[in-house]
Amino acid sequence: MYGNQGVRRYRETDLGTMSREKMVVLLYEKMISDLEEALRALETGQRSAFTQKVNHSQRIVTELRGALDHHAGGDIARNLEAIYDFLFREHLSLLVEREPRRARTCIDVLRPLLEAWRQIPNGTGEAAARERARASAGPEPAPGRTGGDGMQAAAPRPAAPEAAPGRTGVLSVSA
């Protein structure tokens, strides 16, 4: 189902050129795959594999939460943060209790999110970030207008979005 296809795509994709939307889709697929593998490991008594898969999925949740932009994302970012907090707590409970229902609950939460993110066209986030940068840069000077030194006034450059201090990106999550 999601497992084999998601894992293959996760490993084969060039993470450096991937859109944010595609990255989120692959991370959701990987979390689902990790949780499904954790369930199989739990059923067969492979405690180490179980712990490894749950921990990896939990690291992805942590990275996704840390990558949220509350300024630009507004209510959507707040809602995703609440979902990620819930998933994080479920992962903790899964590690402690080893109850399969915890993993299934996480998978049930992730599947509709995955389907929703698959509907978002690639590049939507980057286009929105560029538009916000243009809007915050202010009005552009009129064509042909010069500064006091006779030089053409330069158009303001949009500020590049910066990562939050001390945060690593979702690209740091590995299998």
pLDDT at 54 over 80: yes
Per CATH, is 2-120 categorized as 2.60.40.10?
A: no
Rounded distance between C-alpha atoms, residue 30 and residue 6, angstroms: 6
How many residues comprise the chain? Answer: 175
Average pLDDT, the chain: 80
The pLDDT score that the predictor gives to residue 4 is 65
Q: How far is CA 40 from the centre of its chain?
A: 26
Q: Per residue, what are the HEC states of 13-51? A: CCHHHCCHHHHHHHHHHHHHHHHHHHHHHHHCCCHHHHH
C-alpha span between 20 and 150 (Å, rounded): 42
| pLDDT > 70 fraction of the chain, expressed in percent and rounded | 64
Give the residue with greater pLDDT, 115 vs 8: 115
Contact present, 60 and 30 (Cβ < 8 Å): yes
**Quick count: other Cβ atoms within 10 Å of Cβ 164?**
11
Q: Which residue has 């991370």 as its token pair?
A: 27
Comparison of pLDDT for 54 and 12, the residue scoring more: 54
| Per-residue pLDDT, 17 | 76
Q: Which of 12-26, 126-140, 146-160 has the lowest mean pLDDT?
A: 146-160
Give 152's strand partners.
Answer: 146
Domain definitions of the chain by residue range: 2-120
